Amino acid sequence: MNPRRALQVLIGIEQPSPDGWSLIRAIDNLGCHLHHDLGDVCDIQLLVPKGNGSLISQFEVWGIRVRAVEPAFVNEGIGPEIDDPSLRQAIATAREQDWDYIVVPDEFLSYIDVIERQFHMRLGDLSFLLRLIEIFVRGFGVAWSFENPVFNDSFNHLYFAELQETVAEGFLLMNRLTGKGQDSSTVETVRSLFFNRLPHVCYSRDQLLFYLLQREAELRSGANRQPFAFELNYHLNFHYILVYGALDHAAMVVNEVCQLGLSPKQVGATYESFQKKLKASFPELYGIFSSSETAKIVARLGQLRHLTAHRGSINPATLVQIPDREATNEELDAYLSEIGQDPRLLDFAGVPDTQELLLEIQRSFAKRELLERNALDSDIVPVEIDGKCAYVRPFEDVTWPYRASLNILRQIIRE
pLDDT tens profile 155-179: 999 999 999 999 999 999 999 999 9
Residue 348's pLDDT is 52
Alpha-carbon distance of 160 to 196, in angstroms, equals 10
Residue 352's pLDDT is 58
Mean pLDDT by groups of 10 residues along the chain of 415 residues: 93 92 96 95 95 92 93 81 89 91 94 90 95 98 95 94 92 91 93 95 97 94 80 96 96 95 94 95 95 91 91 88 87 83 60 72 85 85 85 91 94 88
Say if residues 82 and 114 touch (Cβ distance below 8 Å). yes
Quick count: other Cβ atoms within 10 Å of Cβ 53?
11
Hey, where are the domains in the chain?
A: 6-152, 156-314+398-414, 317-392
Residue 357's pLDDT is 79
Residue 347's pLDDT is 54
Residue 386's pLDDT is 79
Residue 266's pLDDT is 96
Q: Which helix (H) or strand (E) holds 399?
A: none
Q: Can you name the residues that pair with 389 across neighbouring β-strands? A: 384
Residue 55's pLDDT is 93
Q: Which CATH class is domain 6-152?
A: alpha beta
Taking CA 91 as the corner, what is the angle to CA 87 and CA 96, rounded to the nearest 5 degrees? 150
Alpha-carbon distance of 89 to 214, in angstroms, equals 24
Residue 57's pLDDT is 93
Say if residues 25 and 43 touch (Cβ distance below 8 Å). no
Residue 81's pLDDT is 84
E strand intervals along 296-374 = 317-320
Alpha-carbon distance of 14 to 52, in angstroms, equals 7
Burial (0-12, 13-18, 19+ Cβ within 10 Å), 405: buried
Write the DSSP symbol of residue 186. H
